[in-house]
Structure 1
Amino acid sequence: MTRIPELPHLIYGADYNPEQWPAEVWREDITLMQEAGVNLVSLGIFSWALLERAPGEFDFAWLDEVMDLLHAGGIGVNLATATASPPPWLATLYPDSRPVTVDGVRLEIGGRQAYCPSHAGFRSHVEALVRVMAERYGTHPAVQVWHVNNEYGCHIDQCYCELCAQKFREWLRARYVTLDALNAAWGTAFWSQHYGAWEQIQPPRRAPTYANPTQQLDWRRFSSDNLLELYHLETAVLREVTPHIPVTTNFLGFLPGLDYFRWAAHEDVVSLDAYPDPLGASPHLEAGMQFDLMRSLRGGQRWILMEQATSAVNWRTVNAPKAPGLARLLNHVALAHGASGIMFFQWRASKAGAEKYHSALVQHPGPRRSRVWQEVVDFGAELRTLTPLLDARVSARVGVVFDWNSWWALELDSKPSRVSLMPLVQAWYAALRQLGQTVDFVPPSGDLGQYDLLVMPNSYLLAEGDAANVRAYVEGGGHLVTGFYSGIVDEHEHVGLGGYPAALRDVLGLWVEEWLPLAPGTVTPVQLGTASQPVEATTWAEVVHVDGAEVLGTFTDGAYGLVRGGPAVTAHASGAGRATYIATHLPEDALRDVLRGALTAAGVPHVTLPVHADVTLCTHPDGPLLHVLNAHGREELTVRVDGAADLAGAPLREELTLAPYHGVILRVPATFTVADLGVGQP
């Protein structure tokens, strides 16, 4: 299912916090929302303390009034369960409901989301509040979506208290059944860690030195599952009382703490809060990567951009505003990558509190007195002309393997070197986008056969079944490109012996003898094919021995002299497919060249785009649609497409020039591929 359930139009709106304002402002808000084209607001996210002022003492009068005003104004509601931040009375009633850090510090009230997800008293009040909300508002005509909690794991994704310790033991019992199985999985013969009773097991709190790696990994898995259980507590009530209303909870892109592939299966629609840095080199790529992940989580279903900033945020060291036009550009990136809803935090900028300097649709000077307001109104009008996008499906021939288990394991302590996953993924993603590729993110356990090319920037951990899935993909005719330090350990963080990477040696046609991490600022030259001169690789090198693989690139020097003349990039035919291995971190041009060769071998059309061009091709019942966006803030971009028409179907015969931060949506011939596209600087 590509469409969001029962969604007749593109969503446009914001978080709405009327409880921060006197009632006389509410009617002005409705009028301004209508002027801006707002059709959905998120309501009640942080309202628990005002909805339940004391245990069991509910006051819904103000929310009733706001709900009725919104409905009368033609504005729908994404109604929050209001459980994201417990009121002070709950922490006073249950002092042990406040979360505990890895160092044993119990956090105080005064911020937000200060709760232990395992606490029975907290959970009972959550369930009671959700039930009252569902029974009261489940038949209200304004309610279109349930917004469960808010940004799970944003501040506290792990609580180390004794309640969580007990739940961890229960989780481990379910996973391993016996202590013998746990001891084998955790490798407790090392450092005299053998457990003789379940009660001896603790969370990986602060210890004299490295905690057991498998214990740490299982703790991350448990912590994600423990919050997911809290989510299930709420959704069980909602689906019992209001089965007709879809549910969502807003994700945070590549949030380290939660395995979103597991979470998304339990939502009706995925939603995202995205805050790319306007000062970043490529905000459109930072945002686009998150957008592609959201679309991938539910098999291509369109999704909602639930939060973003109209301009500046309040929590960076330097809170730069979005330049005029950048917000519109990023919203078009979201639409191109599968969004059916464009929303912001928040409707009206707060005059008090920790986020009072966060931008909003209505800024502190007031409506109609800021360039932000005019941009908001203009985009709302534009969005109403783009309804056909609801039926567009963004499909990809390239899959990027991503696995939270591998991310957690890679960045544990006690490694050959500190390798951060996200910079690698970002580099490979940017290279594929510059080659005109739409990409999905896929777990290694997923349906890999739907992709002509599969890339794994790094998969340090490959569970046995996942490794078999990758091998079957290649042997069945797929094309794989994987990066260094992949396939090293299994799901228990145990190293495969006999030469790295044990899980993929046969597919790659090689084995690695030794890893050679490079110090910051150090490079090692790599000669790729017949290139005129070597490129400067960084971060990592390996002593590679080929066992059937073809050498595409060679280390020419560096890395302590141990790799000179050795393979740096290889390719190997395995079954009906082909696997390429990159044993270092290549600079962007060289990485793009290797991926270009893999795309060619896989028969995937490609094009080399200017770095600030964002191109996405999607299918539609009326024919394919092509989004071409100019993400450059100062220079124009030209677009040449034969046989193109605008979204309304009017033919376009001339070359198009896109102004900075502008874009175009084109109807293109059924036979069009990105290789037919002409894009460049004028």
Structure 2
Amino acid sequence: MTGPRWLRWPAALQEAGLAFGADYNPEQWPRETWPEDVRAMREAGVNIVTLGVFSWAQLQPTAGTWSFGWLDEVMDLLHDNGIAVDLATATASPPPWLSRLHPEILPVTARGETLWHGGRQHWRPTSPVFRGYALRLVEAMATRYGGHPALAAWHVSNELGCHNVYDYSDDAAAAFRTWLRARYGTVEQLNEAWGTAFWSQRYSDWEEIIPPRLAASFPNPTQQLDFKRFSSDALKDYFRAEREVLRAITPDIPVTTNFMVTGDINGMDYADWAGEVDFLANDHYVTQGFPELLFCANLTGNLAQGRPWFLMEHSTSAVNWQPINVSKRDGELARDSLSHVAHGADAVCFFQWRAARAGAEKYHSAMVPHAGTDSALFRSVADLGRALRALAPVASTRRKPASVAILVDWPSWWACEQDSHPTERLRYKQEALDWYIALQQLGVRADVVPSSAALDGYAVVVAPILHVVPPALATRLTDYVTAGGHLVTTYFSGIVDESDHIILGGYPGALRDLLGIRIEEFSPLRDGESADLDNGCTATLWTDRIDLTDPGVEVFARYTSGEHSGRPAITHRPVAGGSASYVSARLGPHGLSLFLQRFLAVADVHSELPASARGRVELAIREGDQGEFWFLINLTDDPAGVEGIEGTVLYPLSGTEPGVLAPRGVAVVRRG
């Protein structure tokens, strides 16, 4: 992630301040619409658009013909109007002629069903046939447009893995076996890692190994975990293949692809992917409420290691793919956009520029809605463009690290939600989000970071459901604590190694000695069950029967009801100048905030916000040569006081009472 190409921000945007734009799909509209589009873009302050995402069928109408004239015209038109282009390689969705000629490129589900053309992303990441056609298109695009003055960046495919991350085809099976050979070397080593002595699963030849297709009962858990690792790597390898073609022809143009750090999408290990792009880009759509947006923006900023990143897609208002698609309320368009800027985005873009008349996404909002530019939505878009111009001094600044880190670990996320576990109700990301919200309620900034991140700069590290703990990670956490750091982890942590094998001797396995506790059996709760704690919290989902193994362990809270009444529920073990604590139940944001008040005091971590703003306002800070930029984000639907924060107000420019944030409002203050 620290290689010489990281970070290569598009040169066309370096002097533009904050970039602003959208996916632009002119091929869906008559030519006479294009000049009107560009005029409205200039009115809104658009300075970059993404072109060509779903244009393969227009660019290559048949296997033997090309049609670049329309794209030439659009590229020239945009450049003439001062608008840069993030040019997609158009490989996201192959044209029908390709799947008709080569149905062997089509993905196959675990049940053996073929996914046909008619939607999008109907291709196998491991298909050599698909890759051959796709790379010829990439080469043609790079050769034709590599020297075009509008070209600012290359956009490989689109949302890699959104619909095809898990393919169970014969191509995937062959590639999986190759991946496993590289990982394990011999079938004997694989048998040991997969625990195939169980259920007579022992393999005697590589050709016997298949993806975890539909089986008569639970597929082998390590096979499932390795298939997730392989699937992420297969898509990453595909990205690299396109990237290398682009770099060979256009070495000076940075290359990226749009991650999906959003919702519960977790098929791609983005901590592993982040070092592969020249600059990080992300798509985010609100699925679990506004705090989840902030959580994902925060994680994206930390995957980018504090450097500027590109919000490639989000929505101006309603989307089209949720069960109920509601419009955004007043203030939410600006708040959602500026929240990403607060966490490091130097580009704010939407899907899409003009709302479609036809197709599956015709009810998805856009910068120009069906009502046209004479609409409240477009006026809000133009207001946002003006706001981003006013915030130009923020561009190129870095996120200021917090005192608290929340770890996100993709292998733990994958493994802890697999089948045949103590409970099927466990949701990894929800637990991590609960801790983030609890810290919000206390007004304490936190960084959401991958588990591979350096920890030594943090006073507190929260590791929720850190289920998979290889020896190296256990050593890093122990070293962090003995060096004076304060670690807190939760139920179902430290349980298995990297092969998903139980770490024997009692739970929480790899973290047992560090925490000074031992658990013999899990105690998940049934739906509707709960247990009370003596600190006012209520446990749901999970409890543990904890035995203390170190006389120095303090009990922060005990159960007062349920099977473990009177026994420890939250423990705290001082270690040198640091500590290691354990929370044995799901407490929800309110319960966690009660615990954190005591825990943060031990770690000497305090809120930077005035008391009146805590729990109502999120603070994010970017810093640079011109000082610190404090982003104050109202989490509520009511006015929120932020009195006593001195500095120059960059946003909003007018219309609000000093020291008060409007409902769902944002203020940006330059300090120092």
| TM-score after normalising by structure 2 | 0.94
Structure 2 residue 279 is matched with structure 1 residue 269: yes
Count of residues in Structure 1 that have an aligned counterpart in Structure 2: 652
* 1:32 counterpart letter in structure 2: A
The one of 536, 539, 554 aligned to 2:538? 536
The C-alpha deviation readout for 1:187-207, integer Å capped at 9, x for no partner, is 111111111000011110000
The C-alpha deviation readout for 1:600-645, integer Å capped at 9, x for no partner, is 2222222564544222233222222211122323x11111125433
2: distance between equivalents of 1:643 and 1:232?
Answer: 47
Q: Is the 8 A contact 2:530 2:540 kept in 1?
A: yes
Please report the RMSD computed on the Cα atoms of aligned residues, expressed in angstroms.
Answer: 1.7
2: distance between equivalents of 1:443 and 1:665?
Answer: 27
2: distance between equivalents of 1:333 and 1:443?
Answer: 20
The C-alpha deviation readout for 1:511-561, integer Å capped at 9, x for no partner, is 112211001111101112xxxxx3221110001011221111001111xx2
1:235-274 matches, within 5 Å, as 235-254=243-262, 255-274=265-284
Tell me the equivalent position of 1:484: 491
SS of residue matched to 2:157: coil
Tell me the equivalent position of 2:389: 384
Structure 2 residue 305 is matched with structure 1 residue 303: no
Structure 2 residue 40 is matched with structure 1 residue 32: yes
Q: Is the 8 A contact 2:56 2:91 kept in 1?
A: yes
SS of residue matched to 1:519: coil
Tell me the equivalent position of 1:676: none
Q: Is the 8 A contact 1:3 1:390 kept in 2?
A: no
* 1:412 counterpart letter in structure 2: Q
The C-alpha deviation readout for 1:431-469, integer Å capped at 9, x for no partner, is 122223333233333312121110011111111211111
1: distance between equivalents of 2:453 and 2:639?
Answer: 40
1: distance between equivalents of 2:105 and 2:422?
Answer: 39
Q: Is the 8 A contact 1:410 1:421 kept in 2?
A: yes
Q: Identify which range, 437-446 or 133-142, moves more after superposition.
A: 437-446
The one of 382, 406, 431 aligned to 1:424? 431
Q: 1:246 and 1:591, CA in 2 relative to 1: closer, same or farther beyond 3 A?
A: same
Q: Is the 8 A contact 2:650 2:669 kept in 1?
A: yes
The C-alpha deviation readout for 1:552-589, integer Å capped at 9, x for no partner, is 1001111xx2x121110010022432111101111422
2: distance between equivalents of 1:210 and 1:611?
Answer: 43
Structure 2 residue 554 is matched with structure 1 residue 583: no
Tell me the equivalent position of 2:508: 501
Instruction: Report the CA distance between 1:648 and its aligned residue.
Output: 9.6
Instruction: Report the CA distance between 1:3 and its aligned residue.
Output: 8.4
Q: Identify which range, 481-490 or 568-577, moves more after superposition.
A: 568-577
Structure 2 residue 572 is matched with structure 1 residue 571: yes
Tell me the equivalent position of 2:291: 285
The alignment-based identity, stated in percent, is: 44
Structure 2 residue 353 is matched with structure 1 residue 347: yes
Q: Which runs of 5+ in 1 are unaligned?
A: 529-533, 670-682
Q: Is the 8 A contact 2:387 2:652 kept in 1?
A: no
The C-alpha deviation readout for 1:216-255, integer Å capped at 9, x for no partner, is 0000000110111110110001111111111111111142
2: distance between equivalents of 1:3 and 1:269?
Answer: 6
2: distance between equivalents of 1:5 and 1:97?
Answer: 33
Q: Is the 8 A contact 1:445 1:465 kept in 2?
A: no
Q: Identify which range, 136-145 or 614-623, moves more after superposition.
A: 614-623
Tell me the equivalent position of 1:675: none
Q: 1:599 and 1:2, CA in 2 relative to 1: closer, same or farther beyond 3 A?
A: farther
* 1:435 counterpart letter in structure 2: L
* 2:20 counterpart letter in structure 1: Y
Q: Identify which range, 502-511 or 611-620, moves more after superposition.
A: 611-620
Q: Is the 8 A contact 1:475 1:574 kept in 2?
A: yes
Instruction: Report the CA distance between 1:107 and its aligned residue.
Output: 1.1
1:107-506 matches, within 5 Å, as 107-254=115-262, 255-277=265-287, 283-368=289-374, 370-394=375-399, 395-418=401-424, 419-506=426-513
1: distance between equivalents of 2:446 and 2:308?
Answer: 15
SS of residue matched to 1:442: strand
Tell me the equivalent position of 2:555: 551
2: distance between equivalents of 1:3 and 1:264?
Answer: 13
* 1:70 counterpart letter in structure 2: L
Structure 2 residue 630 is matched with structure 1 residue 626: yes
1: distance between equivalents of 2:126 and 2:159?
Answer: 17
* 2:438 counterpart letter in structure 1: A
The C-alpha deviation readout for 1:72-131, integer Å capped at 9, x for no partner, is 011000100000000111101111110000000011110000001111111001111111
Tell me the equivalent position of 2:3: none
Tell me the equivalent position of 1:674: none
Q: Identify which range, 429-438 or 372-381, moves more after superposition.
A: 429-438
Q: Is the 8 A contact 2:440 2:614 kept in 1?
A: no
Instruction: Report the CA distance between 1:658 and its aligned residue.
Output: 1.8
SS of residue matched to 2:86: strand
2: distance between equivalents of 1:307 and 1:123?
Answer: 26
Q: Is the 8 A contact 1:649 1:667 kept in 2?
A: no
1: distance between equivalents of 2:333 and 2:193?
Answer: 48
The C-alpha deviation readout for 1:299-352, integer Å capped at 9, x for no partner, is 111111111111111111111000121111111211111111111111111111
2: distance between equivalents of 1:153 and 1:163?
Answer: 16
Instruction: Report the CA distance between 1:69 and its aligned residue.
Output: 0.2
2: distance between equivalents of 1:3 and 1:666?
Answer: 28
2: distance between equivalents of 1:436 and 1:341?
Answer: 27
Q: 1:235 and 1:642, CA in 2 relative to 1: closer, same or farther beyond 3 A?
A: closer
2: distance between equivalents of 1:458 and 1:128?
Answer: 44
The one of 17, 33, 37 aligned to 2:25? 17
2: distance between equivalents of 1:594 and 1:120?
Answer: 53
Structure 2 residue 606 is matched with structure 1 residue 601: no
What stretches of structure 1 move > 3 A for 4+ residues in a row? 1-6, 607-612, 647-650
Q: 1:118 and 1:291, CA in 2 relative to 1: closer, same or farther beyond 3 A?
A: same
* 2:480 counterpart letter in structure 1: Y
Instruction: Report the CA distance between 1:649 and its aligned residue.
Output: 14
* 1:261 counterpart letter in structure 2: A
Tell me the equivalent position of 1:673: none
Q: Is the 8 A contact 2:285 2:315 kept in 1?
A: yes
Q: Which runs of 5+ in 2 are unaligned?
A: 1-5
The one of 665, 670, 677 aligned to 2:668? 665
Instruction: Report the CA distance between 1:660 and its aligned residue.
Output: 1.3
2: distance between equivalents of 1:56 and 1:120?
Answer: 19
Instruction: Report the CA distance between 1:2 and its aligned residue.
Output: 7.7
SS of residue matched to 1:504: helix
Q: Identify which range, 37-46 or 455-464, moves more after superposition.
A: 455-464
Q: Is the 8 A contact 1:464 1:503 kept in 2?
A: yes
* 2:622 counterpart letter in structure 1: C
Q: Is the 8 A contact 1:460 1:488 kept in 2?
A: yes
Q: 1:643 and 1:614, CA in 2 relative to 1: closer, same or farther beyond 3 A?
A: closer
Structure 2 residue 620 is matched with structure 1 residue 616: yes
